[in-house]
Amino acid sequence: MKTWIRRSLIGLTTATVLLGGLSACGRSHTGGLSDERITEMRGKAIERISGKLDLNTDQQAKLGVLADQMIASRKAFRGNTDPRADLQSLVAGSQFDRAKAQQLLDQKLQAAQGNGPQMLAAFGDFYDSLTPEQQKQVRERLEKRRHGWWGRS
């Protein structure tokens, strides 16, 4: 095979892999969810966890507070911008925009640090409200690490 053809194919393949990787990194798996869908998923998760742990109404309420805090934290972390557009803006020029990337990272870290204490408090309140047997179930679920925390097993 001629050198220029081989180089062209390698270049094309590299560009395809690079652009595909950047697109995948920029895609948010939950970015397309509406508030109604998130609320629906929240309800299903609470039902599933409540059923597996046999939670009482007080425990379910604390789980609801934790779920609400997680949703608020996710929204704050994600912000009002499109992650794909943010990534595209970093590579729009001839060089990677390191200053803007650092700014985006700082914003994400600030959002995580700002909501972290409330989320930890909500998780602590929920976990502390569980009976010793329920706490044992939670620890066992975490040890399995199969299909996520509360995957259908």
pLDDT tens, the chain, 153 aa long: 566 666 655 655 555 555 555 445 544 444 567 778 888 888 898 899 889 889 999 999 999 998 898 888 888 877 777 778 888 888 888 888 889 888 888 888 888 788 888 888 998 999 999 999 999 998 888 887 655 555 554
User: Mapped to the 3 state alphabet, what secondary structure does 86-144 carry?
Assistant: HHHHHCCCCCCCHHHHHHHHHHHHHHHHHHHHHHHHHHHHHHHHCCHHHHHHHHHHHHH
Cα 27 to chain center, whole Å?
12
Enter the CATH code of domain 33-144.
1.20.120
d(Cα 85, Cα 74) in Å, to the nearest integer? 18
d(CA 84, CA 89): 9
pLDDT value of position 56:
94
Q: What is the pLDDT of residue 28?
A: 47
pTM score, whole prediction? 0.64
In the chain, where are the structural domains located? 1-30, 33-144
Per-residue pLDDT at 30: 45
Buried b (16+ CB within 10 A) or exposed e, 115-151: beeeeeebbebbeebbeeebeeebeebeeeeeeeeee
